[in-house]
Structure 1
Amino acid sequence: MPVRRAGSDFVAPARQEHVRAHNLGLLLQRIAADATPVSRIELARATGLARPTISRLVDDLLTGGLITEVGPDRSRSAGRPPIGLTLSRTGPAGLGLDMRTGSLTACIVDFTGAVRHLEFAPRTHPVTAPEQTIDDLAAIAKNAIGTAAAQGLTVAGVTLAVPGPVQDRSRVRFAPAIGWRDFDAGARLRAALGSDEVAVAVDNEAGLAALAEWHASDRQLRNFVCLFGDFELGAGIVLDGELLRGARGWSGELGHVTVEPDGSTCACGAKGCLQEYAGLAAILAAVPDAEQRSGALSHQTPAVTIGVLADRLPEVRAALARAGTALGISVGALINLIDVDTVLLDGSYSLLATWLTDEIQTQIRDRVLTARWSPVEVRAAPIGPDAAVIGAALTVVDDVRRDPSTWITRPRS
């Protein structure tokens, strides 16, 4: 694995630690990809590495708590059966955090990707107060870290899901729906947690939701759009099994494409954004004043409120139909550009799929050039409202899986 020095044609030999780090990642990815325990012999065959090298690397992964040995599978071969290796259910874990219209949420996933803890806390301060919101999130994060420790897990990092573009995995450039602009959420969260041992990152909620749904499909979904709705309307786009981030990591702001050039003014400052026609707030605006004043549904989330009222109020059903049409027009244009075969309704939209799916499907059928011979499936996402926070936690696990050497060499307190 040669290294090219900047500004030179000279190719330097790879340092030994780089080779070791590469091979550790190679082995760990191979173990993670197999549904059943993998033996050392199988790893040698699959990677081409020498058995002594395999043994040393496996020992490092075992010592780091990233994998564990399981009893031999006597059904796989005659003679002495090999000991299997699989991802550890103790050791490193990921912590995801997110903000919703009604709550703050924390999620712990272990190194296998399994959810081990999901916690909700009511918002005690307006989400438009970024510093206080981050401090509240830090409080729920600290509780989740303690819960993880009680289960034998060590939180390797924290990722916060936010409804807007993020620079350098830390600074929220502009999140119109919650009023955050040029706010370094990562730095504030790092300070509020009061620990340098836990890595902190911030990422867009729609992209994180798409990653969670991709994992949930056992990575069988290869080309899809994840329409995520809560504060903001965004799109997580996965092409060929990779999340599409764009040149600066800011792709997916579907809520701010124009559907009506002379339409109402959006919180972002532009006119006629999709958010103004298909966002939850736009749908809720159809709820009669008497219903809003009654307070009977005040304890419910916006999506649940819309769903309950849609069963008995024609004006709410009409608002959902208008939202579905606007979503379908915008997604249809997107599909004409990027060619995906599945659209998942995620976040709060997953709870409204009954009223949105047909309208979206109709617009896609009428507007996507290839839809006549290559239909696009529109359906509720399997995970739904928890997708962003689970995806946030999974990014921590994925980072360790890609470069396990950073975890293995990490100082332990």
Structure 2
Amino acid sequence: MSATQDTAARRPTVGPAPRPRRGRADPRAARQSSLREHNLSLVLRHIIEAPAPTTRARIAGAVGLTRATVSDLVDRLLRGQLVVELETESVDRAGRPGVLLAPASRSVVGLGLEIQVDQISVRATDLAGSSIVQSRAAGDFRASDPAETVERLVRLAAPVVGQLADEGIVVAGACVSVPGIMQRGSGQVRLAPNLGWEGVQLTDLLRVHHPFDLIPVELGNDADLAARAEARARAQLRGTSRAAQSFLYLAGEVGIGGAIVLDGELASGQHGWSGEIGHAVIDPDGPRCRCGATGCLEQFAGKDALLRGAGLDVAEPLRRLVTAAHMRDPRALRSIEAASTALGMAIATAMNIIDVEQVVLGGIYASLYEHLRPGIEAQVRLRVLAARWSDVRVEAALGQGDSALVGASLQVLDRVVTDPTDWVPSS
């Protein structure tokens, strides 16, 4: 049996291979095995985040390891089917050309699950960033029963997991995107106002259903996950690293999610609850929000508020508002202008605190970007102190409506990249 076949034979159908128990070690001590694990992750991350296929020699130069060390680590990743070799590179110079390396496709996937107010979705994404299979179902999940919603989500996801297993593709884990506040590490949705959920042990509800009794499951905030996907998309488009990305992200839906990305990483705060810009106060005497407070931003700029302001029913699809705005309908334009002013005030306040130069509008705001941008920029120029000498940019998100779903998949895969030792031969 070949090394590759042996690795595949040891892999489970779903979830990572069991990890050997290790004795407790002083966290200050850098064991040789810890160093090898770190370097293995370093090389895999470089290959995955590179804007184009790369070579062993380029990796060695970029990460500061010897070519021999990188070659050994790459061989392990090849045997674990986490990376693949492509053709030999074409070069216009003297010297031996290298073999190009890329993330493996259709080998290991992260399963993204999403619960939104108006739909549930599932997507499997591989290490190359490609969608292997995706499915969604519309619904109205306002004030929904968590157990019933989870059952519907399982019915949607189970055939996807079955299809992946039939194709020999390994599911590393699942992450559920929810528009609410999570209790970090607990599997609990603390509060999701627009779903009407509070104190819901969501991972426990999932684990009683097959196949999630076999798949590691975690939770994530929808805006945080969308921002993670956006950071990767921007790095790939610009040919830079994810670490070069810093921005304030806003995702407009029925609610408004926010996330802060600094040097490519989410600034999630002490408990993981940062970025709740949808509940920034615009007018303390304003309408009551589902969170219980009054005058929150989402009551002025959320999807329902935009549709109502334009004289449309909240059940109408967003494209009705987009079309009305393009046709210069006065009510639609007034609604969007009011929303852009409220958004600009909240964004300016946030930017005075967190000190970034870029604002990224996602969700429904990406579709309305050309109409929202002028009002937001006017408030930013007026209210952000640093705007006097620093170029503050407001841009539309590169990711489309599936950003949170993509980000959920990527969060699972990031666990594989951070610790790939479960997925490769030990020697």
Contact 2:114/2:178, CA 8 A, preserved across alignment: yes
The answer to which of 173-182 and 376-385 deviates more is: 376-385
What residue number does 2:346 align with?
A: 330
What residue number does 2:322 align with?
A: 307
What residue number does 2:216 align with?
A: 199
1:16 and 1:387 mapped to 2: Cα distance? 39
1:84 and 1:121 mapped to 2: Cα distance? 40
C-alpha spacing 1:335/1:402, structure 2 compared with 1 (3 Å):
same
1:271 to 274, 285, 294: 294
Contact 2:124/2:132, CA 8 A, preserved across alignment: yes
1:328 and 1:161 mapped to 2: Cα distance? 26
1:380 and 1:161 mapped to 2: Cα distance? 21
**1:103 Cα offset (Å):** 2.2
1:351 corresponds to 2:364? no
Q: Deviations over 1:349-384 (max 9, x none)?
A: 212223222111111111111223323222321213
Q: How does 1:43-192 map to 2 (within 5 A)?
A: 43-47=59-63, 49=65, 53-75=69-91, 78=94, 80-123=96-139, 128-149=144-165, 153-169=169-185, 170-192=187-209
Contact 2:361/2:394, CA 8 A, preserved across alignment: yes
**1:228 Cα offset (Å):** 0.5
Contact 1:166/1:203, CA 8 A, preserved across alignment: yes
**1:232 Cα offset (Å):** 1.6
Contact 2:117/2:195, CA 8 A, preserved across alignment: no
**1:17 Cα offset (Å):** 3.5
2:361 and 2:58 mapped to 1: Cα distance? 40
C-alpha spacing 1:332/1:193, structure 2 compared with 1 (3 Å):
farther
2:25 and 2:345 mapped to 1: Cα distance? 47
**1:386 Cα offset (Å):** 1.4
1:119 and 1:127 mapped to 2: Cα distance? 23
1:282 to 305, 313, 330: 305
> What is the RMSD of the two structures over their aligned residues, measured on CA atoms?
2.7
**Identity of aligned pairs, percent?**
37
**1:238 Cα offset (Å):** 0.9
2:140 and 2:223 mapped to 1: Cα distance? 24
1:237 corresponds to 2:254? no
**1:144 Cα offset (Å):** 2.5
- TM-score scaled by structure 2? 0.84
C-alpha spacing 1:271/1:66, structure 2 compared with 1 (3 Å):
same
1:171 and 1:86 mapped to 2: Cα distance? 36
Contact 2:117/2:141, CA 8 A, preserved across alignment: no
What residue number does 1:395 align with?
A: 411
AA partner of residue 308 (structure 1): T
- TM-score scaled by structure 1? 0.86
Q: Deviations over 1:73-127 (max 9, x none)?
A: 2526546533333211131111212133432222222102223333222227656
AA partner of residue 145 (structure 1): V
Gaps of 5+ in 1: none
C-alpha spacing 1:72/1:267, structure 2 compared with 1 (3 Å):
same
Q: Deviations over 1:51-91 (max 9, x none)?
A: 66545433321221101122322526546533333211131
Contact 1:127/1:133, CA 8 A, preserved across alignment: no
1:26 and 1:254 mapped to 2: Cα distance? 34
2:169 and 2:93 mapped to 1: Cα distance? 34
1:257 corresponds to 2:265? no
C-alpha spacing 1:54/1:163, structure 2 compared with 1 (3 Å):
same
Contact 1:157/1:200, CA 8 A, preserved across alignment: yes
1:82 and 1:285 mapped to 2: Cα distance? 59
**1:335 Cα offset (Å):** 0.9
Contact 1:348/1:384, CA 8 A, preserved across alignment: no
Contact 2:89/2:97, CA 8 A, preserved across alignment: yes
2:100 and 2:230 mapped to 1: Cα distance? 28
Pairs aligned (count) = 395
1:380 to 390, 396, 417: 396
Gaps of 5+ in 2: 1-23
Contact 2:142/2:195, CA 8 A, preserved across alignment: no
C-alpha spacing 1:270/1:142, structure 2 compared with 1 (3 Å):
same
Q: Deviations over 1:2-24 (max 9, x none)?
A: x9738xxxx5x444442332221
AA partner of residue 307 (structure 1): V
